[in-house]
Chain A
Amino acid sequence: MQPFVCPQETEERAYRMQLSSFERRKSTIGLTPLIDVVFLLLIFFMLASTFLKFSAMPISGARGGGQGGNLAEIAIIQVRGLQDIRINGQQVGLDGVRAQIDDLIGKGVTRAVVQPAKSAQVQDLVKVLEVTKTAPLKSVVVVR
């Protein structure tokens, strides 16, 4: 024997069931486009990204018309290669640059001018500039 069901309720249930079956049929379609998009994102990020750590090093060139300072306050660092750096004419390697600059600072030097030779590459200049930036100098400029 069937339990009594109010006609309004049966109508509601039928409506609900129809809706849920419709939704389930729709959800099976979307998987492949989803994978397409995720693959696309994956390939984009693999190609466009990098694991390197970057940094921006300020480089100041010499400006014309500056104040003419005392020449004794300036150290001239000529870079010919990593093992041939001349600071005020004295030849040192890269390891000796800091000690030499500290020595000159003790003698009253406050500024440095870095001048790479024809044979010097950007890498050599960066190594020397990195050392000079750690020294307590007022300014470090590069000239040709």
Chain B
Amino acid sequence: MRFKVQPQKKDPGENLIPLINVIFLMLIFFLAASTIRPFSDRQIKLAEAVRAGTAGSGLRMAVLRSDGTAVLGGQEVGPEELQRQFTAWAADDPDRGVTLVADRAMPADRLIEVVTQANAAGISNVKLLTQKAR
């Protein structure tokens, strides 16, 4: 008995080239069409605003969850720690301000409390990050 063995000596690299083409295309699409998220917390739903402007500097950000808890650099912090951070930022450069990333369902009272806290620490330029309504 004789089995017919087909000689498959084709270069495997040849089949990969269309795949690489498609992946490169997707990579270029994502690079060109999107922007890097300014914050990493996916639980936060930002308040919607009609107009879109420029998102501020990305480094000084405080995240406020819908229950009012503050998160700095991925760590949940209490009011004292938040105050300490605001004071440190104000001592470093008070003109740069701070951007608050607040959930849209958070009580507005709590937002104003944090804004007042930042103002008291010496940061006058407080901004709230919003997203353009779809």
What residues make up the interface of A, taking CB atoms closer than 8 Å to B? 28, 31-32, 34-35, 38-39, 41-42, 45-46, 48-63, 79, 116, 118, 120-126, 130, 142-144
Contacts and interface: CB of A to CB of B under 8 A. Distances in A.
Given A42-B23, A42-B27, A50-B34, A122 B131 contact: no
A61 B124 CA distance: 8
A49 B36 contact: yes
Interface stretch (B1-9, B73-81, B84-92, B106-114): B106-114
Main secondary structure of the interface of B (DSSP, over half): mixed
B127 A49 contact: no
Interface string B30-66: 1101111110000000111111111110000000000
8 contacts: A35-B16, A49-B30, A49-B37, A53-B131, A54-B35, A55-B132, A120-B108, A126-B49
Contacts, number: 148
Main secondary structure of the interface of A (DSSP, over half): mixed
Closest CB pairs A-B (n = 10): A116-B108, A49-B34, A53-B52, A54-B55, A53-B132, A55-B53, A56-B127, A123-B104, A56-B56, A125-B108
Contact of B109 (A34, A39, A63, A116): A116
Nearest to A57: B128
Nearest to A125: B108
Nearest to A42: B27
B20 A122 contact: no
Given A35-B20, A38-B24, A55-B53, A61 B116 contact: yes
Contact of B104 (A49, A55, A116, A122): A122
Interface of B: 11, 13, 16, 19-20, 23-24, 26-27, 30-31, 33-38, 46-56, 99-100, 102-109, 111-113, 115-116, 118-119, 124-132
A123 B56 CA distance: 19
Contacts of A31: 13, 16, 20
A126 B131 CA distance: 11
Contact of B112 (A34, A35, A45, A116): A116
Given A45-B30, A122-B102, A55 B111 contact: no
B27 A52 contact: no
Given A38-B27, A79-B108, A122-B102, A56 B37 contact: no
